[in-house]
Chain A
C-alpha cells in the first residue's frame, strides 16, 4: 500500500496541541479485556482443540484463551502484573507468564480460530477456517505468509474472496520507497533545495545519509540579535543530548571520543559513518539572554558531495526558541523537515515540545550533565 505524499496532505493545525499534550497516566485498574472472538463463532472452548499451555520461558505473544474460565484478577494482582511485565500479554490474566506468545506450541501463527493451528504456519490468521479445506484455499494455506483478518467461513471462501487475500509486496524502487512508503523528494548537487511551507520535507538517499559528514550551519546577519544554535539529539542507545557549542556541550554522546554529532562554531557536524546511532536531531536557534530576536537568515545543510538544503529562519520578531529543522533517521535515510516553530520560553520548553523528555534539567537552560 502506498501512503499519500505528505507534501500534498492538508495542513494540520492541531499539531502544536498534540506536541504539548500531557502524558496520560496509566490507570490503576486492571487492563480492559480484549475480546477478539468473531460474533458468528461458537463460544470458545466448544469444539476446539485446546492449545498447548505456553511454556514458562516462552517469548511469544499469547492471544489464546484458557481452556477453562479463570476468574478476573484482583486489582492488586493486575497492578503487580503491570509492574513486573513489560511485554504485551493478552492471555488469561490468571497466567503468570510474561511472554509474548502468538501461537500454540507447534506453530508461529496468531490463531484465534476454533481450528487447530496449521503447523509450520507463519501467518497472522484471525479467521474461522472451515475444516478440511482443500489445499488450494488461500484462506488457510498450510504455510501461508499473508495476514488474514477476514471472518471467512467455508461458504465465504469464494474465488472473489480469495482474490482479496493480500499478497506480499516485493520491495521495489519503481513502486516508491519501500521504507518511507512514498517517493520522496531528493536533493541533488547543484540545485539547492529550499524547505518552506509548500515543500517542508526532503529525504537524503542512503548514500547521502551514510557517506562523509552532514554539515549544518546557521547563516544569519548581525541584525538578528544574539542568536545561538542549539541541537537536541536522540541516539539509538536511548541517550538524549543537548548540544550548545558556546557552553562547552559539544558532543553527542556527551564526552565521547567518537561523537555522532559535534557542535562547532555556528553549527553542527553529523558523522555519517555512525548514522545508525542517530535517531533524531532537532536544530533550534535561541537567545541566551532571552532577548526578542529579529528572526532572519537560514540554516544550511550540506552533504559531503555538495548537495544543499536551505531552511529559512524567518519569523516575526519574538523571544523563545525557533525550532528550525528536524532530522529523522528512517531506515538509514535521513528525512529533513522544516519545523519553523517558535516555542516560547527557554530551551527546556523547546525540548519538551519536540518530545525530548529524557533530559534532567538544572535550570530551564541547562540540562544535568
Chain B
C-alpha cells in the first residue's frame, strides 16, 4: 500500500530510510485541459548552495540545458509513468558545493498568452529510486492552492547530516520565472 502523499512543508529522510540509495528520479506531473498552458509549461532544476543561489547559470537544468557540468543531475528527454518531466540525480556525484536541488515549474511567458498555474488540475512531484524505479514518496496535489501564479517551487532535495532529505515546498510565484530566477540567482 503506497504511503500517504506528503503535505506541503513536510520532508522525508531519504538516505536514512534507505541507506543504499545512490540515486533518485524526480518526477513531475502537471496537467490541465488548456493546450496553450500545457505547451508553455517548463520544469527546471536548480543546483543551489546553502543560500539557495545557483552555483552558476550552468547549474540550471531544463530543456535547453539537459545536464549540469558534472552530469550528476540530468533531465530526461522523454519522461514516462505519467510524469511530464523526469530528472535523474546521482546523489554521490552531486558537487560538494551543491546543498539543495530545487525543482520548479513555470509558464514560459511573453508571447501574449494569458494563462496561470491556477488552471492546472494536477501539480505533483514524486521521488523514485533510480536503481529500480520504485516510488519512494509523492507530494500531495499542489494545484488546488494555486490561483494567479505563473511559477511554482515544487520541492527540493537537500543535504542533511551527511545524507539527503526531500521536502515538498509548494511555493507559488506571481511573477513566474523572473521571480524564481531572482530568488535563486539565475541570470536571465
Task: Give me the interface of A with B, judged by CB distance under 8 Å.
Answer: 171-173, 188-189, 205-213, 215, 258-259, 262, 269, 271-273, 275-276, 303-307, 332
B132 within 8 Å of A by Cβ?
Answer: no
Interface-forming stretch among B17-25, B57-65, B138-146, B162-170? B57-65
CB-based contact B110/A173 at 8 Å: no
Residues of B within 8 A of A258 (CB): 39
CB-based contact A304/B178 at 8 Å: yes
Q: Which of A172, A269, A305 contacts B188 (CB 8 A)?
A: A305
Residues of A within 8 A of B111 (CB): 213, 259, 262, 269, 271
CB-based contact A173/B58 at 8 Å: yes
Helix, strand, loop or mixed for chain B's interface?
A: loop
CB-based contact A215/B110 at 8 Å: yes
Residues of B within 8 A of A188 (CB): 187
Bound state CA distance, A300 and B60, in angstroms?
Answer: 26
Given the interface pairs A212-B177, A304-B178, the reply to whether A207 lies near B110 with Cβ below 8 Å is no
Interface size for chain B: under 10, 10 to 19, 20 to 34, or 35 or more residues? 20 to 34
Residues of B within 8 A of A305 (CB): 178, 181, 187-188
Task: Give me the interface of B with A, judged by CB distance under 8 Å.
Answer: 39-40, 42, 56-58, 60, 62-65, 69, 108-111, 177-178, 181, 186-188
Q: Which of A172, A304, A306, A332 contacts B110 (CB 8 A)?
A: A304
CB-based contact A273/B65 at 8 Å: no
Q: Which of B40, B60, B69, B108 contacts A207 (CB 8 A)?
A: B60
Residue of B nearest to A206 (CB): B65
CB-based contact B177/A304 at 8 Å: yes
Between-chain CB contacts (< 8 Å), 12 pairs:
A188-B187, A206-B65, A208-B187, A209-B64, A210-B62, A211-B108, A211-B177, A259-B111, A273-B42, A275-B64, A304-B188, A332-B64
Residues of B within 8 A of A215 (CB): 110
CB-based contact A173/B187 at 8 Å: no
Bound state CA distance, A181 and B119, in angstroms?
Answer: 43
- From A207, A209, A269, A305, residue with most partner B Cβ within 10 Å: A207
B112 to chain A, nearest CB (A): 8
Bound state CA distance, A235 and B69, in angstroms?
Answer: 28
Residues of A within 8 A of B65 (CB): 206-207, 210, 332
CB-based contact A307/B58 at 8 Å: no
Q: A212-B178, A304-B110, A306-B188 are known contacts; what are 12 more A-B pairs with Cβ within 8 Å?
A: A206-B65, A207-B187, A209-B64, A210-B64, A211-B108, A211-B177, A212-B109, A262-B111, A269-B110, A271-B110, A271-B111, A276-B63
